[in-house]
Structure 1
């Protein structure tokens, strides 16, 4: 990751031994190890969250594409029914009131005809 070789690690160890001394060096190494572990854990957590968000985003895009395709197919399936509905509404059927008026008119005709026949 950092491309650090054995020679660089050896130089850092010697400098740390000279600066910190032999009594503080083990505690410093433990502290550095703890911080490196925490940083790696945080980086790993962030990477997993990012990959999860990317996966969720891809799933949302796929779902949106499939929904649009299904909506298009649904519209194609509805088209004949819409045309049939339009043709039925275009040919106006007589309303209930018109039918009642026609029935009343026929009753009047039959009653007038029966009066005439009598």
Structure 2
């Protein structure tokens, strides 16, 4: 990325020592290292988000191809993409379905049923 050799780093260090002095140099080095590490982490997070979005776009494209082909005679990679997309859709819907079943299992008087109050240890004892 940058073509900085050993002697250039030595020159930068000497100039920094002369300009900042020995009292402020450690603080400046820590500040620069924090900035560099935060920039790297931000770049990595952006890279991860882009790769995730590309994967989602690829899955959607494969699903469109599958729908156009009528979901018949699909290639193995398209079948796996469709299966992945179906699993992802089920995982997204699962928390909402669990909340709906939990609210429907509670009685009218808002007391939990006896099957909900038993613990896993109680179930093993039965």
Instruction: Please give the range of the TM-score, normalised by the shorter of the 2 chains.
Output: 0.5 to 0.7
Determine helix, strand or coil for the equivalent of 1:3.
coil
Q: Tell me the distance in 1 between the aligned counterparts of 2:51 and 2:3.
A: 25
Are 2:22 and 1:22 equivalent residues in the alignment? yes
**Cα distance between partner residues in 2 of 1:21 and 1:31:** 15
In structure 1, the gaps of 5 or more residues are: 74-118
Equivalence for 1:69: 69
Could you tell me the TM-score, scaled by structure 2's length? 0.54
Q: CA deviation at 1:72?
A: 8.2
Deviation at 1:4, TM superposition (A): 1.9
Of Structure 1 and Structure 2, the greater helix share is in 1
Work out whether 1:44 is the aligned partner of 2:44. Answer: yes
Q: Deviations over 1:27-75 (max 9, x none)?
A: 00000000000000000000110111111111110110011101688xx
Report the 3-state secondary structure (helix = DSSP H, G, I; strand = E; otherwise coil) of the residue aligned with 2:3. Answer: coil
After the TM superposition, which residues 1-118 of structure 1 pair with which residues of structure 2 at under 5 Å, given as runs? 1-70=1-70
TM-score normalised by the chain length of structure 1: 0.57
Give, in angstroms, the shift of residue 12 of structure 1: 0.9
After the TM superposition, which segments of 4 or more aligned residues of structure 1 sit over 6 Å from their partners? none
Which structure has more relative contact order (CA 8 Å, sep 6+)? It is 2
SS in 2 for 1:65: helix
Q: CA RMSD in A?
A: 1.7
Unaligned runs of 5+ in 2: 74-126
Secondary structure of the 1:21 match is helix
Q: Deviations over 1:61-106 (max 9, x none)?
A: 0110011101688xxxxxxxxxxxxxxxxxxxxxxxxxxxxxxxxx
Q: Find the aligned partners of 1:34 and 1:63 in 2 and give their Cα distance.
A: 43
